[in-house]
Amino acid sequence: MHSFPQNTSGDIDIMMIESFNEGTNWTAPVRINDDALANGKMQDMLWADFDNDGDIVVSWRDRRNASGGGFLAASEFYASFRDKDSASFSANFKISDSLVAYNNVLAQDGNDFMSIAIENDTLSAAWGNTRDGSLDVWFVRMHAPTATTTSISLIESSKNNFNIFQIHQREFILLKQSTKRLSQKWKYMI
């Protein structure tokens, strides 16, 4: 499986191709985002994961509800789920809880991020968000097949001077720093 952003209809959509013979042949591209074709709304920053029984979830940053188009338009995070026994993806559903205007803080190295993991149909996602003018880290947990959110929370704000380091595929360390020394440390399992 390979998912990727591609401009096929005048704007960037999220696509996926699959191989069932170790890459010798690939399926035709399938469009995952289900907003209107050629609407000038860009999707990007995708992330995908398989759970333990073969289900897949694909997520991305989406601008379908923004008043403008292009990279600098306001955005939300969306996802789509596909059961291991299905040939098609679910209707798109929101992961984030608000449409957020673009902020230049996202252009700084490491600030424009998203990560997801799915296990036993439970989707966990973390992403950078600038709704208050600073970089914040948000976290959501939801039941992917039904797109039902069980929790969403702000887990840290750059107003508190933090850094994020990935240490394993599904494990991140969020370090909160004081000006003189490391004051607190949190470990998040995504």
The residues, ordered by sequence, that sit 6+ positions from 107 with a Cβ below 8 Å of its Cβ are none
Among 21-25, 121-125, 167-171, which is the least confidently predicted range?
167-171
Give the pLDDT score at 110: 65
pLDDT tens for each residue of 26-77:
999 999 999 999 899 999 999 999 999 999 999 999 999 999 888 899 999 9
Cα end-to-end distance, the chain, whole Å: 22
Per-residue DSSP letters for 126-163? EEEE-TTSS-EEEEEEEETTTTEEEEEEEEEEGGG-EE
**pLDDT > 80? residue 181:** no
Tell me which amino acid residue 114 is. Answer: M
pLDDT tens for each residue of 130-153:
888 888 888 999 999 999 999 898
Strand, helix or coil at 105? helix
- Higher-confidence residue of 109 and 93: namely 93
- Higher-confidence residue of 89 and 22: namely 89
Check whether domain 2-159 has CATH 3.40.190.290, yes or no: no
Give the pLDDT score at 107: 77
Mean pLDDT, to the nearest integer, of 156-160?
66
**pLDDT > 50? residue 167:** no
Q: Give the mean pLDDT of the chain.
A: 82
Phi and psi, residue 105, nearest 5°: -60, -25
Give the pLDDT score at 176: 41
Q: Are 6 and 29 in contact (CB under 8 A)?
A: yes
Per-residue DSSP letters for 12-44? EEEEEE--SSTTSS-PPPEE---SPTTSS--EE
Q: What is the pTM of this model?
A: 0.82
Give the pLDDT score at 159: 62
For residue 65, what is the enclosing H or E element?
none
CB-CB neighbours of 107 under 10 Å: 11
Domain extents in the chain: 2-159
